[in-house]
Structure 1
């Protein structure tokens, strides 16, 4: 694949987080490594196929690592790389802005939908320190 050339840093940043579920996956992994099933449960609405695709792209872009443990039954965990951690730090102010914007415009919480994990974290006052489904604080 040919390398893309950009005029500024926003291009590669948007390419890295492009995709409906990538930011949610990165946000959930901020608290530590998760297995596929844990990730799927912590990102409401994502299909198995789409989660697999997004994880492969995040791994390809060096934002997530996939570790296969040689044990029975097989175990695979996904975790943030240093680049993934630094990207999550950049996403935290966006999460704070989104919370303020949503509150100001009355866009959520919606009563007709399950509350997203990021919303629950923001309500708990920890938008800048994400937690996983296991409740571990992020970096």
Structure 2
């Protein structure tokens, strides 16, 4: 039940360690699935990767939302994920050879937003007391 709460609920708070456990597992799973898709289905690997990333989007946003709430911030801060999500989905489709001003500025924006999310959700401490999103996570 706790795993279902962490991955599929946008309510409540989680601490930094749960956020880090999720992100480590998430990125390892991405590397594994993309690697296996590239070997097993090289012609369809881009589509398989994109579909997998879309399936993992909901749990990733749910975990991140709970970290924002632990910091006393609303789910509106999830909007910072938009450039990151677009960047993740465009990498398999665009390949390494994609260039241009739009790609450059989009990548820079995704990097800045991703760094902000990492610092706020992954490094900074949550509220020390109960806030409007719930009690202090254990």
Q: TM-score higher than 0.5 here?
A: no
Q: State which structure, 1 or 2, has the greater radius of gyration over its C-alpha atoms.
A: 2
- Larger helix percent: 2
Shorter chain as denominator, the TM-score bin is under 0.3
Higher RCO, Cα 8 Å, sep 6+: 2
* TM norm structure 1: 0.27
